[in-house]
């Protein structure tokens, strides 16, 4: 370590010693990966297996059959207008002969988004309930959100090598912050009178969280879910540079060969996926969709019950 400290070398005549931050960070990262190699190997196997299995599952049915399922999902989760919008989106991807690549990208986004939400939502709840946790988490989220996206591919490749796992890891890091931030904001914005009424009725903290705070915070939390998915989709394209496959691989190939047509074609397919996922996930948190009504019924019912009791 001592040889890395080069105090004699100065930067551009400014008289400031050159501090090898990069070498220190690299040494720390090497220590982490060697110390927790079993965890890294397990995560690599799990992420590769789950994402590969989901990609095979999505690529198995005929493209038109699966596209019809996506149209029906849009109708059920939102309305008939969403179903009509989904038709040209799916047709564009199929007609561009990018369906299999799009399904690989969708599998990567799904796995990365689920992992990010499994970590982000509980962390956001904890931050909302504990100011020390909130103060500790905030600078970490700032770092994850402001670091250039491509930089996260370097530690991803160092840990997992080339493949789907590296793409998922970098995508989770990049997409995690909105889930944490908006979950914390959502819990903090819940009407405190309703929470106090829950305490008055003898509810435990867990019951208050599950029956009052989370249902009433659903709209804002779902906005965070939407942002996580959108960021995961944008980062998944960069996954092509680390061998994650999908539409990102097509974009990477287009850059390497200066193929403008292929690059724009793959990029537009990403846009079609983004429009569909954005409309569907945005509708879940709203009160107009079936899913939105189911998610908000408990919280609204408790609000009415406490209102009647207080009256």
Mean pLDDT for all residues in the chain = 84
Instruction: Specify whether 3 is located in the same domain as 41.
Output: no
On whether both 238 and 136 belong to a single domain, the answer is yes
CATH number at residue 104: 1.10.3720.10
Q: Is 103 in the same domain as 203?
A: yes
Structural domain boundaries enclosing 234: 37-310
**Domain co-membership, 86 together with 118:** yes
Total tally of structural domains belonging to the chain: 2
Say yes or no: 29 and 42 in one domain.
Answer: no
Same domain, 14 and 147: no
- Please tell me the predicted confidence (pLDDT) of residue 311: 40
Report the pLDDT averaged over residues 37-57.
Answer: 87
In this structure, are 59 and 183 located in the same domain? yes
92 and 30 housed in the same domain: no
Same domain assignment for residues 10 and 43: no
Quick one: 77 and 28 in the same domain? no
- What is this structure's pTM? 0.82
- The answer, yes or no, to whether residue 308 has pLDDT greater than 50, is no
User: Looking at the structure, do residues 84 and 201 belong to the same domain, yes or no?
Assistant: yes
In tens, the pLDDT along 261-296 reads 898 999 999 999 999 999 888 877 665 555 555 555
193 or 10: which carries more pLDDT confidence? 193
Characterize 275-302 residue by residue with b for buried, 16 or more Cβ atoms within 10 angstroms of its Cβ, and e for exposed: ebbebbbbbbbbeebebbeebbebbeeb
């Amino acid at each position: 370590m001592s040889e890395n400290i080069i105090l004699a070398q100065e930067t551009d005549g400014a008289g400031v010693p050159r501090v090898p931050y990069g070498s220190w960070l690299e040494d720390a990262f090497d220590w982490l990966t060697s110390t927790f190699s079993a965890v890294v190997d397990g995560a690599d196997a799990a992420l590769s297996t789950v994402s590969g299995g989901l990609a095979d599952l999505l690529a198995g049915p005929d493209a038109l059959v699966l596209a019809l399922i996506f149209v029906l999902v849009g109708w059920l989760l939102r309305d008939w207008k969403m179903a009509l919008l989904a038709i040209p989106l799916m047709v564009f991807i199929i007609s561009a002969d990018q369906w299999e690549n799009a399904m690989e990208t969708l599998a990567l986004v799904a796995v990365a988004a689920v992992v990010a939400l499994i970590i982000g939502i509980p962390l956001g709840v904890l931050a909302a309930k504990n100011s020390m946790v909130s103060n500790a988490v905030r600078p970490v989220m700032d770092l994850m959100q402001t670091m250039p996206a491509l930089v996260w591919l370097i530690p991803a490749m160092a840990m997992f090598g080339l493949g789907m796992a590296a793409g998922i890891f970098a995508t989770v890091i990049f997409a995690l912050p909105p889930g944490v931030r908006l979950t914390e904001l959502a819990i903090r914005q819940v009407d405190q009178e309703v929470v106090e009424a829950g305490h008055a009725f003898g509810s435990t903290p867990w019951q208050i969280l599950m029956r009052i705070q989370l249902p009433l915070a659903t709209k804002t939390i779902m906005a965070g879910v939407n942002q996580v998915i959108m960021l995961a989709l944008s980062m998944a394209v960069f996954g092509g540079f680390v061998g994650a496959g999908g539409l990102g691989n097509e974009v990477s190939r287009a850059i390497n060969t200066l193929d403008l047509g292929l690059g724009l074609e793959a990029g537009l397919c990403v846009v079609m996926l983004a429009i569909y996922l954005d409309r569907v996930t945005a509708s879940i948190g709203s009160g107009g969709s079936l899913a939105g009504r189911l998610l908000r019924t408990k919280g609204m019912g408790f609000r009415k019950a406490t209102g009647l009791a207080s009256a």
